[in-house]
Amino acid sequence: MSARPPIALTHFAMAQFATFEVAAAREAAVKGPRLSGRVCLVAGGSGVVGSGIVRALLLDGATVVAPLRRNDQIEQLRAECSGAPLENLMPVVVGISEDQYCSALVSGVLQKYGRLDHAVSCFGGFWEGGPLTEQGLDELFRVVGDCATPHFVFARHVLPALNPEPSSSLLFISGAAGERCLNADSSLYSVASSMLYGIILAAQAQFAEHPFRVNELRLSAFFKRHEELRGASYANWFGKKVHSNRKVGKLVVDALLKSGRSERIDATPERLDGISLTVARGGLRDKLCVVADASTTVGSGIVAEVLKEGATVAAALRSESHIEKLMEDCAGVPTERLFTTVVDLGDDVAVTAFLEELAVKHKRPIDHVVSVHGQFSEGGPLTEQPTAELRRVLADIPTAHFVVAKCALPLLNPTHASSFLFMSEGADVGNNFKDFYGKKAFSARKVGKLAVEALLASKHAERIVITSDRLDGGVLTV
């Protein structure tokens, strides 16, 4: 029996969704517009997802302010909102990814309507510019600037202006690319998506005691404009079903009305498939391992435990003053296989030279690299930080991980027993902190032991979670 052509499946899906829309309209008619009298600001309203959100909010009675980048997008958005009360749509052409324009827009909304009940942050397009190690720092910052920084700027100006009521909210629209890289060429898109998660968490922490809500809607599926799905072109994308952007709109309305506090709503009509590969196990004896940055408390603990397993360890440090401290942290451990080097881990030329010289000196490729960066700091709440400070912090911590990964991954020993391990930590806690934020502080050596287990036993593209209770038992949780 021959398979049905894709167009038949598409029409069937459209018929199903048409039935869904009729039912939703009837439900709204019975209950009445749930967002009547509410003022909503939707950033990114001209995008695929954003336009679906704008339409749904209008259908539920909201007044929607939609900032757009260009004049020609006004008619396009109005066309995509067909069937909705367009008299409640207020399109504004303004570049809100810049502080001064975003501030002016929020002030204008408050001046015109006297209130801002809901805001939806929906920025960023897809990026597929190539593998991680082929990208420069300029491209990293450009992609972050396109996909994550606008969310930061928008939140910074919107949150202080939100109506201080439990019924009000800021909703971030994110994607699943920060959890799992879609493919190697979308590398920096995953980096930017992960950064957005951090922005959301920071906003939720800062405004945890405020009456309004700060939530996240994480989309784990592909979406296209409703009208585009009438043809067969986008019936299948990356091997996945493509959904109408109008479905997202309904989810957003429900999130604004029903979600709790600091809640993440997962929109997973179809989960993205992941690949898990099993790698061979091997010991660390006679292996060449790099730990960067070994200046941190966690880094020195990893160095000590990897040395105990018989490996040769090259410890990259930020300054000469950290060498003596590292030796103290490795007390009781044989250090004849420890080599220390001071290197600027934010400089890809310096890092590449360090790694290449290491391989030449030991006459072998590097077997394992552990990337440990970032000292904990507290510079203030999210909305009090200028964009320049965001860039500075980004350059201080994620950039070092990026540079080390970019330079080290191509030089790794090409065997299943080799690995690159990123260490992400909430804070750099030393022995001086028996109690840190009301939490028990652990010896860095415990983390080192778990790092050894991760190098030996972890699977491909795996995230290993270390919790306090697991550290007490020394158990590795995957």
Predicted local confidence at residue 374, as pLDDT: 62
DSSP single-letter state for residue 5: P
Shared-domain flag, residues 143 and 218: yes
Predicted local confidence at residue 230, as pLDDT: 62
Shared-domain flag, residues 10 and 158: yes
Number of domains in the chain: 2
Shared-domain flag, residues 218 and 189: yes
User: Containing H/E element for 405?
Assistant: helix 398-408
Which residue shows structure tokens 């600027």?
Answer: 344
Shared-domain flag, residues 309 and 423: yes
Predicted local confidence at residue 118, as pLDDT: 95
How are beta strands 240-244 and 236-237 bridged, if at all?
Answer: antiparallel
In degrees to the nearest 10, what's the CA dihedral of 51, 57, 58, 62? -140
Between CA 138 and CA 126 the distance in angstroms is: 18
Predicted local confidence at residue 373, as pLDDT: 72
Predicted local confidence at residue 318, as pLDDT: 86
Predicted local confidence at residue 179, as pLDDT: 85
Shared-domain flag, residues 251 and 377: no
Q: Which residue segment(s) compose the domain that 469 sits in?
A: 288-473
Query: Does the model's pTM come out above 0.95?
Result: no
Domain termination residue (choose one: 267, 299, 333): 267
Domain termination residue (choose one: 214, 233, 267): 267
Shared-domain flag, residues 247 and 359: no
What is the per-residue pLDDT across 24-75, written as a single tens digit (0 to 9) for each?
444 444 456 789 999 999 999 888 888 889 999 999 999 999 999 899 999 9
180-to-148, 161, 187, 271 alpha-carbon distances in Å: 17, 34, 10, 11
Whether residue 276 is contained in a domain is answered as no
Give the three-class secondary structure for 244.
strand
Residues (pLDDT < 70) of the chain are 1-32, 223, 229-241, 243-248, 251, 268-283, 374-377, 395-397, 424-448, 457-459, 461-478
Task: Give 199: exposed, middle or buried? Use CB within 10 Å, 0-12, 13-18, 19+.
Answer: buried
Predicted local confidence at residue 245, as pLDDT: 67
Give the three-class secondary structure for 313.
strand
